[in-house]
């Protein structure tokens, strides 16, 4: 039923739940797991911040942070018996990267957290999970 499952990760606890859920489903259907992450400047953190100056992290730092998030996600997936078939680190709008990854891997399911690293905890869905849910043409599961 589900041959290829894309799991979107951002390094949050929510995404860790998404990995656990996706691995559980993959165990039942013998599905491939595809991990996707697109590092964002605001979640990598600022190198130096003060009232007067804010230095954004450079491309190298963003790349390293993205790789770290992906390595941890892949390790979590492997620990749950499902080493990822592919890992994709994007560099653009996360929702677009997730949708592209789903298309590239012929996904029949996308699994995400309802929320991520954002701080607007009162909202039901975050901006990334909301956009993907609206735009995807395959099944989509947002986990709490």
Is 76 one of the binding residues for ligand ATP (CB under 6 A)? no
> Contacting ligand ATP (CB under 6 A), which of 40, 87, 88, 105?
40
Scored b (16 or more CB within 10 A) or e, 59-95 reads eeebeebbeebbebbbebbeebebebeebbebeeebb
Is 90 one of the binding residues for Mg ion (CB under 5 A)? no
R_g over Cα of the chain: 15
8 binds, among ligand ATP, Mg ion, none (CB under 5 to 8 A by kind): ligand ATP
- State the minimum distance, in angstroms, from the CB of residue 62 to Mg ion: 15
Establish how many alpha carbons lie within 13 A of residue 25's alpha carbon, considering only the half-sphere containing its beta carbon: 22
Is 66 one of the binding residues for Mg ion (CB under 5 A)? no
- State the minimum distance, in angstroms, from the CB of residue 79 to Mg ion: 24
Closest CA to 8 of 111, 141, 109: 111
Is 84 one of the binding residues for ligand ATP (CB under 6 A)? no
Rounded to an integer, what is the distance from CA 79 to the centroid of its chain? 17
Closer residue to Mg ion, CB minimum distance, 39 or 126? 126
Residues that bind ligand ATP in the complex, under the rule CB under 6 A? 8-10, 12, 14-15, 18, 36-38, 40, 94, 98, 112-113, 115-118, 120, 126-129
């Amino acid at each position: 039923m589900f041959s290829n499952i894309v799991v979107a990760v951002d390094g949050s606890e929510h995404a860790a739940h998404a990995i656990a859920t996706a691995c559980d489903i993959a165990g039942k259907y013998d599905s491939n797991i595809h991990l996707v992450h697109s590092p964002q400047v605001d979640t990598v953190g600022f190198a130096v911040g003060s009232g007067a100056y804010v230095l954004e992290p450079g491309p190298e730092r963003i790349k390293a942070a993205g790789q770290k998030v992906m390595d941890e996600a892949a390790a979590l997936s492997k620990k749950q018996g499902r080493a990822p078939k592919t890992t994709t680190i994007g560099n653009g709008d996360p929702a677009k990267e997730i949708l592209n990854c789903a298309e590239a891997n012929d996904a029949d399911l996308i699994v995400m957290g309802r929320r991520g690293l954002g701080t607007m905890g009162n909202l039901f869905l975050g901006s990334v999970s909301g956009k993907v849910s609206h735009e995807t043409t395959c099944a989509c599961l947002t986990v709490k």
